[in-house]
Amino acid sequence: MRSAVVQNIDNTIINIIVADPARDPAPKGCILVFLPDDSPVSFGWIYTPSSGQFTDPNPLKVTP
């Protein structure tokens, strides 16, 4: 299962690893958050613990 490694300080995703957040320890100063296989989440995205949502801080802007 894929998990995001999220820094506790600013909730930024610093890595995507194969781990089980319920069983595997997170690196110091981080938490592990489960990611569905079809999730587009990547490095640099922000995790909001209160809602469990991920957001891309730099979304692509489509211009006509």
6-39 pLDDT per residue, tens: 999 999 999 999 999 999 999 999 999 999 989 9
DSSP state of 12: B
pLDDT at 59: 82
pLDDT at 18: 96
pLDDT at 64: 73
Domain membership of residue 61 (yes or no) is no
The pLDDT assigned to 35 comes to 95
Q: What is the total count of domains within the chain? A: 1
In a domain, 36, yes or no: yes
Predicted pLDDT at 26 = 96
Using the structure block, give the residue that is written with the tokens 């909730």.
11
Position 63 scores a pLDDT of 77
Q: Is residue 46 part of a domain?
A: yes
Any domain includes 32: yes
64 located within any domain: no
Whole-angstrom Cα distance, residue 18 to residue 14? Answer: 14
Burial of 46 (0-12, 13-18, 19+ CB in 10 A): middle
pLDDT at 17: 96
Domain ranges, residue 16: 2-55
